[in-house]
Chains A and B, each alone.
Chain A
Amino acid sequence: MKILISFLIAVTIAYASDATIEVIKKVDSLPTLAVEDSSVSYSKEFKMKFFKSLVADLNVISLFNVDRHYRKINYDASEVSYENKDINYVLRYKLSRDDRGALNIELKILNKNNTVFSKNYKVNNPKIYMFVAHTIAYDINSYMGEPPVEWMKRRVIFSRIVSPRKSELVIADYTLSYQHIVVKGGFNIFPKWANKEQNAFYYSSLDEKRPTLKYVNVKTGRKRVIKSSDGMMICSDVNDDGSKLLLTMAPTGQPDVYLYDVKTKRSKKLTNYGGIDVGGQFMGKDRVAFVSDRLGYPNIFAKNINSGSIEQMVYYGKSNIACSSFGEYLVYKSRESSESFSDNTFNLHLISTETDFIRRLTAVGVNEFPRFSIDGDAIIFIKNYKAQSSIGIIRLNHNKNYLFPLKYGKVQSMDW
């Protein structure tokens, strides 16, 4: 019996932090939270936009069962509204416009009618209210003692096809509700943040004689050419300190993965297969995962940067065409149907190099462009299902997916 108990404890400890194992948390066990609006300014439409944005962010932090009912109350009322009397936490806020047109937000959290948290926020341009909602959710997550959700404040850069051979590069918040076009007017695709600070990015321009990789400093708006290659020229990944890039180039018509040193501007060919090798992703300092058709169908492989041996990473699915890595984890996109002339299903799966488990992260639709958050806590992706495109957030350790419908445009590629 002791041996059995010891074994169970050992297994529990060994797999406690394995993200490939689904964490099943009973929804009922989460504390409840309701939101009350005490706003004195702004239209009903704006108030509802802010309310919905805040409720969505509070859901994404996955710490509460968030009540979706919109309720109004005086900010200084000593008790919560009658409908919320049995709710564990009540978040009450007041939006007000000051003389300069800035959006001011007073906010407090009530627990049993006692204020347990309060903070004021201000933003000069009310149009970027969603950033305040993200910041509020970030603060509440911290107040609850959870690890910081830095990714909530990070920016997404994506390319959007607007017409044949015309695209836009757009910087957005993580829900893509705020969008700012940074490059437009040409055919520019595959944007990739150049560093953790997100103050520069790379992208591929297809307007030149040969595909060309360019670099844009976001602060100054200046851009410069990094490198050109016949056939393909894509920055697939940037290492942690921004000093090395994984490029897909095809100088002789064969797409291969190259390691590029930003400082010395030298590139080293990492793959030599006579078919397709693309989409390199750093896995730690010495390993690279990539997509290859070397078995006759696209699949995910890995190799050590300094040695020649190549390892098959995925043994499930016959069409695994894109991946993103974080530490030992790999999320990949797999085609799960083979319809020649109708919509196919593409799902995302998570594997760990340390275990044999596979965790399916999505169930229906076309799910693509998975990218890990900077801390590996979440995965962002695009879901296309029943003529609706959405941006999805998967909270790996909370076993929850959240979708934010996209307004317009077809995303070509995305980086977080």
Chain B
Amino acid sequence: MKNIVILSAITALLVLSGCSKDPKVDEATSAATNEVVKDKAAEKVSSVETETVSSKEASVVRDNGSALSSSDSMSSLENDLATIYFDFDKFNIRADMQSRVSTDASIVNKKASKFSIKLEGNCDEWGSDEYNFALGLRRSNTVKKALIAEGVSASRIAMVSFGESNPTCTTKTRDCWAKNRRVDFKLLP
């Protein structure tokens, strides 16, 4: 379940726009000019608007949970799908990852055939510009092409890139960074 909370955006506007207003001059009260830098937040704090975005994953568990045996559940199938790792600054599938891709493709085509697949591309610490997200996407796209070559329908595959924003390891070592250059599999209903 994912909650997205829009936190008192009105308050932010009122608070932050206060200074951008033209100065209010009150020459009658002082030789100096008076400016009221408005702070409506102190006077009127708007209620927090909370919107719950329904999670499709959650609804699947609720709607179809009884129909799924535990061994076929999405989470257990996801655990069976192996992450594909990449070399530094590389986007091709390494020789030692080929068998993983084949195994993953087999699971996707058989046990998980009723689900769609989301490929999540990740990078190591190279910044969070759009270009770095594009590099993560390139890794997802490589795995997508490999899955298609193994007979997975392209229409079942969605892709996303998390850039460097989804690390599994955060220490500054070679081994750690190698763990972050990867594509994870997620199943979608």
Contact = CB atoms under 8 A, between A and B. Distances in A.
Interface residues of A, number: 80
Interface string B108-132: 0000000010100000000111111
Given A121-B37, A182-B7, A185-B5, A234 B53 contact: no
Contact of A255 (B6, B116, B129, B134): B134
Given A153-B19, A232-B161, A255-B134, A180 B56 contact: no
Contacts of B85: none
Interface string A198-216: 0100000111011100001
A57 B62 CA distance: 55
A183 B162 contact: no
Contacts of A119: 23, 32-35
A321 B131 CA distance: 6
Interface in B63-113: 88-89
B130 A134 contact: no
A298 interface: yes
B60 interface: no
B130 A278 contact: yes
A221 B37 contact: no
Contacts of A223: 6, 51
B189 to A, nearest CB: 9
Contacts, number: 211
Nearest to B14: A219
Nearest to A333: B129
Contacts of A236: 130
A276 B131 contact: yes
- For the complex of A and B, 8 pairs with smallest distance between CB atoms: A118-B32, A253-B141, A124-B39, A124-B42, A125-B42, A278-B130, A221-B9, A125-B39
Given A122-B35, A183-B7, A218-B13, A206 B131 contact: no
Contacts of A412: 128, 165
Interface of B: 2-13, 15-20, 23, 30-43, 46, 49, 51, 53, 56, 88-89, 116, 118, 127-135, 137-138, 140-141, 144, 158-162, 165-168, 172, 174, 177, 188
21 contacts: A106-B32, A121-B34, A122-B34, A124-B41, A125-B15, A128-B18, A135-B37, A165-B166, A173-B16, A180-B8, A180-B15, A180-B16, A183-B6, A186-B4, A207-B53, A209-B188, A230-B158, A231-B141, A232-B161, A255-B134, A276-B135
B42 A134 contact: no
Q: Is the interface of B mostly helix, strand, loop or mixed?
A: mixed
Contacts of A279: 129-131
A272 B18 CA distance: 45
Given A186-B2, A291-B130, A131 B165 contact: no
Contacts of A183: 4-7
A6 interface: no
A413 B162 contact: no
B113 to A, nearest CB: 18
B158 A210 contact: yes
Contact of A164 (B11, B30, B135, B167): B167
A83 B142 CA distance: 69
Contacts of A68: none
A153 B16 CA distance: 9
A387 B27 CA distance: 50
Contacts of A219: 9-10, 13
Contacts of B116: 209
B162 A165 contact: yes
Among B32, B129, B132, B167, the most chain A Cβ lie within 10 Å of the Cβ of B129
A375 B188 CA distance: 46
Nearest to B55: A207
Among B18, B36, B41, B134, the most chain A Cβ lie within 10 Å of the Cβ of B134
Contacts of B4: 183-186, 188, 205, 207
Contact of B33 (A118, A128, A248): A118
A366 interface: yes
Contacts of A276: 131, 134-135, 138
Given A101-B42, A183-B4, A220-B9, 5 more contacts: A121-B34, A123-B18, A250-B134, A341-B172, A341-B177
A219 B17 CA distance: 11
Nearest to B34: A120
Contact of A322 (B9, B30, B131): B131
Contacts of A220: 9-10
A77 B39 CA distance: 31
B131 A298 contact: yes
Nearest to B141: A253
A322 B129 contact: yes
